[in-house]
Chain A
Amino acid sequence: LAKTTQPISMDSYEGQEVNITCSHNNIATNDYITWYQQFPSQGPRFIIQGYKTKVTNEVASLFIPADRKSSTLSLPRVSLSDTAVYYCLVGDPLWTGANNLFFGTGTRLTVIP
């Protein structure tokens, strides 16, 4: 079971780049890494997903080193609206049951004016 470890909280000033790291030492060969964002009293929202190296979309980048035992979500130039909880999930794209659906406690990012 590839569970994950993230920092409980982070603070950042507006306009800065924020990097949130997730550790997943037991990641399996077929596992993908997925990040979600959750605002208070709302359901989580998909941000980005990757398998190795680097993935970039319009909102974030995901860096995955060669050993894949960790990953880093990078948010460029954060704004106050990026204040949220960020979850890292690791799992196999082939259905193997509930073991892959582990959200953990996430990282609470607070953006400061």
Chain B
Amino acid sequence: DGGITQSPKYLFRKEGQNVTLSCEQNLNHDAMYWYRQDPGQGLRLIYYSQIVNDFQKGDIAEGYSVSREKKESFPLTVTSAQKNPTAFYLCASSSGRVQETQYFGPGTRLLVL
């Protein structure tokens, strides 16, 4: 089945720890995105990537880092510099143009211990 997967479903982070959220897609999409969603709020863009080895900061990139070494993978690292990381993280992909339909993964919920 084609789709976009995220793992893990739940992730716990200790103070000062870096954690990495996985996002994989087999839709052959060029563009991938990371969003953060806080309770009762909309989605805010963290990073996006139009093509392999290229990515751009979104509205709230501070405290996060990404890489795009392969077309199908776009991992997000939540660094210790992100002081309030508790949120629902969503990964999406699209064929390339920003107004093309974005397909979202099931999300990862990050909690701080």
Contacts and interface: CB of A to CB of B under 8 A. Distances in A.
Contact of A95 (B33, B44, B97, B109): B97
Interface in B32-57: 33, 35, 40-45, 48, 50, 56-57
B90 interface: yes
A46 to B, nearest CB: 4
B99 A44 contact: no
B35 to A, nearest CB: 8
Nearest to B44: A103
A96 B31 CA distance: 13
A45 B104 contact: yes
Interface residues of B, number: 31
Interface string A81-103: 00000010001111111101111
Interface residues of A, number: 26
Contact of A34 (B42, B99, B106, B107): B99
Main secondary structure of the interface of A (DSSP, over half): loop
Contacts of A92: 98-99
Given A98-B45, A101-B33, A43 B98 contact: no
B105 interface: yes
Contacts of A94: 97-98
A44 B104 contact: yes
Nearest to A100: B98
A10 to B, nearest CB: 16
A98 B97 contact: no
Contacts of A96: 98
Given A43-B104, A44-B104, A106-B42, A100 B99 contact: yes
A32 B57 CA distance: 23
The 6 closest A-B pairs by CB, nearest first: A43-B104, A103-B43, A93-B99, A46-B101, A105-B42, A103-B42
